[in-house]
Amino acid sequence: MAKNTKESDVNLFYMNQGQAQQDITEMMKRKKAKEREKRIKQNKAQKEEEFDLDTETVIQMTNKNKIKKDEEERKKITKEEKKRQKRNKKIKLVLKIIVLLGVIIGGITFSMISPIFNVKEIQVVGNEQVSAETIISLSELKTEENIFKFNKLKTISKIKENAYIETAKIHRKIPNKLQIEVQERQHSYSVDYLGNYAYINKQGYILEISEDSKQKPIIQGITTAEDQVEVGKRLNNDDLDRLEDVIKIMNATKEYNLDTKVTSIDISDKNEYSIYLEEEKKKIHIGDNSNLSNKMLYANAIIEKEKDKAGDIFINGDINNKFQPYFRESLNV
């Protein structure tokens, strides 16, 4: 009985051992199943995450492409709009120019044919030596002609054919008046010329040839050839240089009120200039153009001292180097 009990216990033990082993095996299976399920879930989640990342990248790239495309489209539209605006501006400008030209052409046409603009009066101002009639004749302007139907430059050129006219301007006084404004050259000296006198101004322009000297200082000893002494021309360069000295001499005489008494000036030798004062019956030997003011001071003093005596005054030495001016009375008076 006891033996059977022991065997039963042994069998029970082995049975329990087998059950335990089976339970352990079952547990290991369940554990592996859980781990496998966990791995599957993890792989699925990782794939889903990777999918989401790829999708976001694709979306971002798509958005960038769309933005870029939209920007290009916007720039294209803006560029076309600018071209259109520029084209419209050009069209408007052309239309304005056409309208303006139409107005101008219409105005010109009207002014050229309308009797309102026919000249009724021609006025000359600034003239003293040349008459208004002469200036108008030179201009070839006429009344009852259209105020716009002449060329100013050509008309001025015609007026300046008169040697006395230095400058000329023409003013249109709308609607029917013309004004000719002139500036004349002044006759300052006369030049001996074949028994006559050639009037010249301070710039050496030959203004007129006459039998009368008009009581202007007569310049003697010019080197300009006789065939070159023509109205409207100038003296040659050598005479122009000496003319500058003449002007300096006359300015020096003016300091002592002798300029109005000068009858003639001899410029034959630029180192021996001389002037003659007919009223004082004296010839002043000046020498060159140096120390003119001091020379005229001595000359004036001698004139006062030798009043009513004809003769020669010599101031043609170097006054700054002990030269003493002197007077030599003429015995042939």
**Percent above pLDDT 90 for the chain:** 59
* The pLDDT value given to residue 297: 95
At residue 194 the predicted structure's pLDDT band, cuts being 50, 70 and 90, is confident
Contacts 24+ apart (CB under 8 A), 323-331: 325/295, 325/298, 325/299, 326/302, 327/302, 330/281
Most confident of 37-41, 72-76, 250-254: 250-254
Nearest to 269 by CA among 236, 324, 312, 223: 223
Please, are residues 296 and 258 in contact by the beta-carbon 8 Å criterion?
yes
1-43 pLDDT, tens per residue?
Answer: 554 555 555 455 555 566 667 767 777 777 777 777 777 777 7
The mean pLDDT value for 84-99 works out to 82
* The pLDDT value given to residue 102: 73
Distance CA(275)–CA(252), nearest Å, equals 12
Question: Look-up: residue for tokens 């404004």?
Answer: 181
Q: What is the secondary structure of 315-327 as a DSSP string?
A: --S-GGGT---EE
User: What are the residue ranges of helices labelled H in 114-165?
Assistant: 132-139, 152-159
SS3 of 103-116 = HHHHHHHHHHHCHH
* The pLDDT value given to residue 48: 61
Lowest mean pLDDT among 97-111, 116-130, 145-159: 97-111
User: How many alpha carbons lie under 13 Å from residue 111 in its C-beta half-sphere?
Assistant: 13
Please, are residues 172 and 119 in contact by the beta-carbon 8 Å criterion?
no
CA distances from 195 to 127, 283, 306 (A): 29, 22, 33
At residue 123 the predicted structure's pLDDT band, cuts being 50, 70 and 90, is very high
At residue 168 the predicted structure's pLDDT band, cuts being 50, 70 and 90, is very high
pTM for the full model? 0.65
Please, are residues 289 and 273 in contact by the beta-carbon 8 Å criterion?
yes
CA angle 284, 285, 288 (to 5 degrees): 130
Q: Which residues contact 208 (CB under 8 A, 6 or more apart)?
A: 163, 164, 187, 198, 199, 231
* The pLDDT value given to residue 96: 79
Alpha-carbon 155 to chain mean position: 26
**For 228, which DSSP code?**
G
